[in-house]
DNA sequence: ACATTGACCTGAGAGC
DNA sequence: TGCTCTCAGGTCAATG
């Protein structure tokens, strides 16, 4: 489930491995993961060009071509990038493969095919079209700006955190993590939160996202009081107080929380 | 405005 | 073993 920290990790991986090398060819093995172009058009768009820098907005990754235009990468639920030399090392489900002039390859891998690769002529227009709000780690999103985004909103706090048009980058897993650290129940109505609650939520959001990036998104490298470690564990206990963790439906998703640290608003 | 549901996808795991 | 069912959760469209 690539959310902001995952996509930031992919961005750094692409920065380290996939830039400043001429793309000699593009092979598409499943055209359903190519959007806004046919496979042939995508290949024509990229062939002979270099990717020179990257930009991430929420869960969307963009790579600039050297003169004009961008490549968009969206990872859906199961997408990631793989850079390798020997074509035999291509992971399973590598639906799009870029062949570089240096003999290496970059693959867009996505088992469930909910992600996509697409050419982007105009980055600003694309971001507007996707209706992406400010990136959740944008330095401009300080405490006051965060509180302002919450103004006039009436829904549940978890839905609000995951609304990509409000703030881009947070999904199911990290919204649970952020709310746990803030001690706020996922179904709490936004108007129930006062300024201090929102300031605390904002601080936890930044801290959780940065910590996950620093851990390169590896659960075992995250602090022991992170819930991500326990997501798949049945009957897991709260790392803070030992209360058995619970699940509720919120925004049509399964939210994990601690009934003791995150008391119900009802 | 907000919440819910189903569709898109496919593999893992459960239950029979 | 192998079948069927449910679940995972990013995003969009349709509906209440």
The CATH number that applies at residue A210 is 1.10.8.50
Strand partners, A153: none
Active site residue A259: no
- Phi and psi of A33, rounded to 5°? -95, 5
Same-domain pairing of A112 and A151: no
Cβ-based contacts (< 7 Å) between A 89-128 and strand C? 112, 114
Angstrom CA distances, A72 to A16, A44, A57, A262, stand at 18, 15, 11, 38
C-alpha to C-alpha distance for A228 and A160, rounded to whole angstroms:
20
What does the pLDDT look like over A166-198, one tens digit per residue?
999 999 999 999 999 999 999 999 999 999 999
Q: Of A104, A130, A156, which residue sits at a domain end?
A: A130
Same-domain pairing of A177 and A118: no
Same-domain pairing of A139 and A122: no
Taking a C-beta distance cutoff of 8 angstroms, is the pair A161, A178 a contact?
yes
pTM as predicted: 0.96
Percentage of chain A lying above the pLDDT 70 cut: 100
Same-domain pairing of A55 and A139: no
Number of domains composing chain A = 2
Angstrom CA distances, A87 to A22, A73, A109, A206, stand at 17, 21, 14, 39
Q: Of A130, A156, A175, which residue sits at a domain end?
A: A130
Q: Is A181 left (phi over 0), alpha (psi -120 to 50) or beta?
A: alpha
Of all nucleotides in the shown strands, which has a C1' nearest the CA of A113? B9
What does the pLDDT look like over A236-262, one tens digit per residue?
899 999 999 999 999 889 999 999 999
Range of the domain at A103: 4-130
| pLDDT beyond 80 at A128 | yes
What does the pLDDT look like over A27-70, one tens digit per residue?
999 999 999 999 999 999 999 999 999 999 999 999 999 999 99
Is A264 inside any structural domain? no
- Give Cα A145 to chain centroid, integer Å: 21
CB-facing half-sphere around the CA of A20: CA atoms within 13 A: 3
**Residue A49: CATH number of its domain:** 3.20.190.10
What tokens appear for A239 in the block?
């790392």
Given the residues A53, A219, A253, A265, the one annotated as active site: A253
CA of A8 to C1' of B2 (A): 31
Same-domain pairing of A126 and A138: no
Same-domain pairing of A151 and A99: no
Same-domain pairing of A141 and A203: yes
């Amino acid at each position: 489930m690539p959310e902001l920290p995952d996509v930031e990790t992919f961005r750094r991986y692409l920065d380290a491995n996939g830039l400043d090398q001429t793309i000699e060819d593009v092979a598409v093995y499943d055209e359903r993961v190519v959007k806004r172009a046919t496979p042939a058009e995508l290949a024509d768009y990229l062939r002979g060009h270099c990717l020179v820098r990257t930009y991430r907005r929420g869960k969307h990754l963009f790579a600039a071509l050297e003169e004009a235009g961008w490549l968009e990468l969206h990872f859906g639920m199961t997408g990631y990038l793989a850079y390798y030399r020997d074509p035999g090392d291509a992971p399973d489900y590598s639906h799009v493969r870029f062949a570089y002039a240096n003999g290496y390859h970059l693959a867009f891998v996505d088992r469930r095919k909910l992600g996509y690769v697409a050419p982007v002529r105009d980055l600003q227009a694309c971001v507007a079209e996707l209706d992406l709000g400010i990136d959740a780690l944008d330095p401009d999103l300080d405490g006051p700006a965060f509180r302002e985004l919450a103004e006039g909103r009436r829904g549940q706090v978890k839905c609000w955190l995951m609304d990509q048009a409000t703030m881009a980058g947070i999904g199911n897993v990290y919204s649970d993590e952020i709310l746990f650290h803030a001690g706020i129940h996922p179904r709490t109505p936004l108007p129930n939160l006062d300024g201090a609650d929102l300031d605390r939520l904002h601080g936890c959001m930044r801290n959780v996202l940065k910590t996950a990036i620093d851990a390169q998104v590896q659960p075992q490298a995250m602090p022991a009081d992170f819930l991500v470690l326990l997501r798949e564990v049945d009957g897991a206990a709260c790392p803070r107080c030992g209360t058995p963790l619970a699940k509720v439906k919120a925004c049509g998703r399964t939210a994990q929380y601690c009934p003791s640290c995150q008391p119900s608003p009802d």
